[in-house]
A and B are shown apart, each in its own frame.
Chain A
Amino acid sequence: MALSWFKKLKQGLGKTSEGLSEGFKDIFVRKRLDDDMLEALEETLIAADMGVESALALTENLRQEKFDKDITEQEVRTFFAEKITAKMQPCQQPLNLPSDAKPKVIMMVGVNGSGKTTTIGKLSKQIKDQGHSVMLAAGDTFRAGAVEQLGVWAARNDLPIAKPHKEGADPASVIFKAYEQAKAQNIDYLICDTAGRLQNRKELMDELEKVIRVLKKHDDTAPHATLLVLDATVGQNAHMQTEAFKNVAGVTGLVMTKLDSTAKGGVLVALADKHNLPIHYIGIGEGVEDLRPFDAEGYAHALLGLET
């Protein structure tokens, strides 16, 4: 059996929390909480990609409660972990789709290289293992090898896949037809891959909008979930990504991949502050089971290097 998810996440975030603890150790040679110390703490949080605003808010909380008081490293960690947990708790929501929709359509969106296709590979296996029928739609008709990549996952998970009839085909049409096939075959879940796109590229975002508009001709409640896939190594641009994809594609939830890297993904904390979107899954490794439901407390503790 693999490690418990917390252990694995902690291992993943290990470098982060090591980084954080180093910061803290430096900081707590002196024990009284003063301005210098607060600034150093703020920097430590920022170095985890938490962003200036969220880091400032956290250290400001600490200032208000503990300024000029003696404080231990453990107390500071616990303090931050509690605040972060509280902030992120509302985002801890499982992926729930309307029970009456058939097929239920899940759409993956995000910038290039964030891990959409891999996430689909893992998610589809998990849903299949719960006893549902799943079909994949290869909506990334642009990137070389993208259809083949999803095809390998379909074969691996023994799932049907709807592919474009030719390279560079209109993704809206591919997904539209995929829905027809899924409907005809009485499929429970249709999971759609889309091409990676930078959110400031108007023409590409228009294309995504069209995919959704056309899909709605089948079922105007579709897609029933639109998941924005974020790479844990991303910095503050995650805000722009979330904002733009929310506006154009009506993102309903987030997935953060590659949290097993040394990247902290601290921007999730800031995203929770600003956008209040559910965080459904985090990716903490290569295996299918490494796509885990998000757990706020576990995440916060792992981030701060605390045991649960």
Chain B
Amino acid sequence: MFDQLSGRLDGVFKKLTGRGVLSEKDIDAAMREIRIALLEADVALPVIKTLIKKVKEDAVGEKVLKSIKPGEQVVKIVNDKLVEILGEGEGLNLATQPPAVVMMVGLQGSGKTTTTGKIAKRLKEKEKKKVLLASLDIYRPAAQQQLQTLAERTGVDGLEIVEGQKPVEIAKRALKAAKTGGYDVLFLDTAGRLEIDEDLMAELETVKQLVNPVETLLVVDSLTGQVAVNVAKTFHERIGITGNVLTRIDGDGRGGAALSMREMTGCPIKFLGMGEGLGALEVFRPESMANRILGMGDVVSLVEKVQEATSEEDMMGMMEKMLSGQFDLNDMKKQMKMMQRMGSLKGMMKLIPGVSKMAKQLDQANVDDKMVVHQIAIIDSMTKQERKNPSILNAKRRQRIAKGCGLEVSAVNKLIKSHQQMQKMMKKMQSGGMGGLGSMFGGGGGFPPMGR
């Protein structure tokens, strides 16, 4: 996601790393490049100025000049300052007498309603909370309907829609329903509004006073330009927010808003919206974000995703099979199912260090979540015997399988080849080669080779 910014900074530091020692002039040149890169990344000017001042102070210092690799050191300084500005991530604070009320606010189209659904799903599944959703958006056509549908999809309750009620009335009713229904959390999704819209901002104030939310989350589109700062500032001054949510992080927006939000509001970024599915929500981590900005990948998120999608038992069983060299197509299917549970392939690949640099190839390679679906379909079209013992798969059988799953024979061949490659790799592992995470993905063998 921050690929382009990383690319720019890479360019800057390549110039720097080339030489041994940094002069003040070098640093000035680098700072100008960083400034431009950050501006193009939609980071707000005031934030850039603060960042550059801090970086420069450290960079011109003797420490850097005497260091052996000043370029790397400047990268580290920039990285540290990014982390500093991004601030610590925090989870939702629901410590209050239930129902804990969470209010979602923001501009039109920032992604409030979808985010509400995502957070609700998370609370229900991870924290076993009883959640009620209520939409106060009486302005956008079918907005209340949208939240209701999301409630159904996530399996939480939605407040009954009563036509003609005003937001304040709905809020009152929601609060009452949440209290009598014994709900842990009540989400109030509010209408999108411009921060300069007096009437609507006043309405928001009234609702907030009435429901006394424990969290008021400002939802901001990560594609937002320089205005993000004004929006956050005005909402914060007027309504008093407790946290930010950044949406559409899976876009190729340069995401400068992420850098700006905390610095300008002083409020933590609590979640990141990472995709269309209701599971596509991530906790914010400044280190991860800074790492991504600098193109260093994000291993922590990756490990977490893998952990979420797999039980230890599964993992151990799989490892045993792998190590014993008896990894058949049933196991391969199991592995793919695991991958599916982890979410979008593309999103995951971007978390792998170094992969973000080949973002273009990645796009060209057309890594498609459908690919996994196809591969599972191929395996499903095999007989039990074939799955256990792939070596019996002759041309005739392959043709039958291709017909069975509706794919070309070449696809079947590819899959069998991947499986063979994986087996080979596992043998190497046995003899003490690679291990750990890479094996989860069959070292890239689980799906057809990419970018070549």
Q: How far is the CA of A73 from the CA of B201 in the complex (A)?
A: 34
- Flag whether A27 is at the interface (Cβ < 8 A): no
Within 8 A of A (CB), among B215-264: 221, 223-228, 230-231, 234, 248, 250-254, 256-257
> Is there an interface contact between B226 and A115, defined as CB atoms closer than 8 Å?
no
Within 8 A of A (CB), among B423-452: none
Chain B residues whose C-beta falls within 8 Å of the C-beta of A255 in the assembled complex: none
Q: How far is the CA of A219 from the CA of B180 in the complex (A)?
A: 58
Q: How far is the CA of A112 from the CA of B368 in the complex (A)?
A: 20
> Is there an interface contact between B368 and A203, defined as CB atoms closer than 8 Å?
yes
- Flag whether A21 is at the interface (Cβ < 8 A): no
Given contacts A47-B226, A198-B251, A235-B223, contact A258 B42 (CB under 8 A): no
- Flag whether B402 is at the interface (Cβ < 8 A): no
Given contacts A152-B141, A198-B248, A262-B231, contact A231 B42 (CB under 8 A): no
- Flag whether A58 is at the interface (Cβ < 8 A): no
Q: How far is the CA of A216 from the CA of B114 in the complex (A)?
A: 33
- Flag whether A199 is at the interface (Cβ < 8 A): yes
- Flag whether A263 is at the interface (Cβ < 8 A): yes
Q: How far is the CA of A143 from the CA of B146 in the complex (A)?
A: 8
- Flag whether A242 is at the interface (Cβ < 8 A): no
> Is there an interface contact between B40 and A113, defined as CB atoms closer than 8 Å?
no
Binary interface encoding of chain A residues 91-118 relative to chain B, with 1 for a CB under 8 A from any of its CBs, else 0? 0000000000000000000011111001
Chain B residues whose C-beta falls within 8 Å of the C-beta of A115 in the assembled complex: 108-109
Given contacts A46-B226, A149-B141, contact A203 B369 (CB under 8 A): yes
Chain B residues whose C-beta falls within 8 Å of the C-beta of A237 in the assembled complex: 42, 223, 251-254
Within 8 A of A (CB), among B41-93: 41-42, 44-45
Q: How far is the CA of A263 from the CA of B230 in the complex (A)?
A: 9
B-binding segment of A48-56, A78-86, A169-177, A246-254: A48-56
- Flag whether B309 is at the interface (Cβ < 8 A): no
Given contacts A111-B248, A235-B253, contact A151 B225 (CB under 8 A): no
Q: Which of A112, A201, A240, A264 contacts B111 (CB 8 A)?
A: A112
Q: Determine the residue in chain A with the shortest Cβ distance to B365.
A: A202
> Is there an interface contact between B195 and A46, defined as CB atoms closer than 8 Å?
no
> Is there an interface contact between A236 and B109, defined as CB atoms closer than 8 Å?
no
- Flag whether A90 is at the interface (Cβ < 8 A): no
- Flag whether A188 is at the interface (Cβ < 8 A): no
Chain B residues whose C-beta falls within 8 Å of the C-beta of A231 in the assembled complex: 109, 221, 223
The size of the chain A interface, using a CB distance under 8 A, is 47
Q: Determine the residue in chain B with the shortest Cβ distance to A260.
A: B194
Q: Which of A43, A150, A152, A236 contacts B225 (CB 8 A)?
A: A236
> Is there an interface contact between A148 and B248, defined as CB atoms closer than 8 Å?
no
- Flag whether B176 is at the interface (Cβ < 8 A): no
Within 8 A of B (CB), among A133-153: 142-146, 148-153
> Is there an interface contact between B368 and A202, defined as CB atoms closer than 8 Å?
yes
The size of the chain B interface, using a CB distance under 8 A, is 54
> Is there an interface contact between B226 and A264, defined as CB atoms closer than 8 Å?
yes
How many Å from the CB of B213 to the closest CB on chain A? Answer: 23
Q: How far is the CA of A228 from the CA of B401 in the complex (A)?
A: 43
How many Å from the CB of A110 to the closest CB on chain B? Answer: 10
Binary interface encoding of chain A residues 266-290 relative to chain B, with 1 for a CB under 8 A from any of its CBs, else 0? 0100000000000000000000000
Chain B residues whose C-beta falls within 8 Å of the C-beta of A48 in the assembled complex: 226
How many Å from the CB of A290 to the closest CB on chain B? Answer: 13
- Flag whether A261 is at the interface (Cβ < 8 A): yes
Q: How far is the CA of A203 from the CA of B368 in the complex (A)?
A: 7
> Is there an interface contact between B142 and A114, defined as CB atoms closer than 8 Å?
no
How many Å from the CB of B372 to the closest CB on chain A? Answer: 12
A interface, over-half SS: loop
Q: Determine the residue in chain A with the shortest Cβ distance to B256.
A: A235
Among A43, A142, A237, max chain B CB count under 10 A is at: A237
Chain B residues whose C-beta falls within 8 Å of the C-beta of A235 in the assembled complex: 42, 223-226, 228, 253-254, 256-257
> Is there an interface contact between A113 and B108, defined as CB atoms closer than 8 Å?
yes
> Is there an interface contact between A267 and B225, defined as CB atoms closer than 8 Å?
yes
Q: How far is the CA of A198 from the CA of B221 in the complex (A)?
A: 12
Q: Determine the residue in chain B with the shortest Cβ distance to A55.
A: B39
Q: How far is the CA of A115 from the CA of B141 in the complex (A)?
A: 12
> Is there an interface contact between A200 and B108, defined as CB atoms closer than 8 Å?
no
Within 8 A of B (CB), among A45-83: 46-49, 51-52
> Is there an interface contact between B363 and A202, defined as CB atoms closer than 8 Å?
yes
> Is there an interface contact between A151 and B142, defined as CB atoms closer than 8 Å?
yes
Binary interface encoding of chain B residues 138-174 relative to chain A, with 1 for a CB under 8 A from any of its CBs, else 0? 0011110111111001000000000000000000000
Given contacts A112-B111, A231-B109, A235-B226, contact A148 B142 (CB under 8 A): yes
Chain A residues whose C-beta falls within 8 Å of the C-beta of B147 in the assembled complex: 144-145
- Flag whether B276 is at the interface (Cβ < 8 A): yes
> Is there an interface contact between B141 and A153, defined as CB atoms closer than 8 Å?
yes
- Flag whether B326 is at the interface (Cβ < 8 A): no
Q: How far is the CA of A13 from the CA of B414 in the complex (A)?
A: 57
A residues adjacent to B (C-beta < 8 A):
15, 43, 46-49, 51-52, 111-115, 118, 121, 142-146, 148-153, 156, 198-203, 231, 233-237, 240, 258, 260-264, 267
22 contacts between A and B (CB under 8 A): A46-B39, A46-B45, A48-B226, A49-B225, A49-B226, A49-B227, A52-B36, A144-B117, A145-B113, A148-B145, A148-B146, A149-B143, A198-B250, A200-B251, A202-B363, A233-B107, A233-B225, A240-B252, A262-B196, A262-B227, A263-B227, A267-B225
B residues adjacent to A (C-beta < 8 A):
36, 39-42, 44-45, 107-111, 113-114, 117, 140-143, 145-150, 153, 194-196, 221, 223-228, 230-231, 234, 248, 250-254, 256-257, 276, 346, 363, 366, 368-370
Question: Which 5 pairs show the lowest CB-CB distances between chains A and B?
Answer: A235-B225, A145-B146, A113-B109, A152-B141, A235-B42
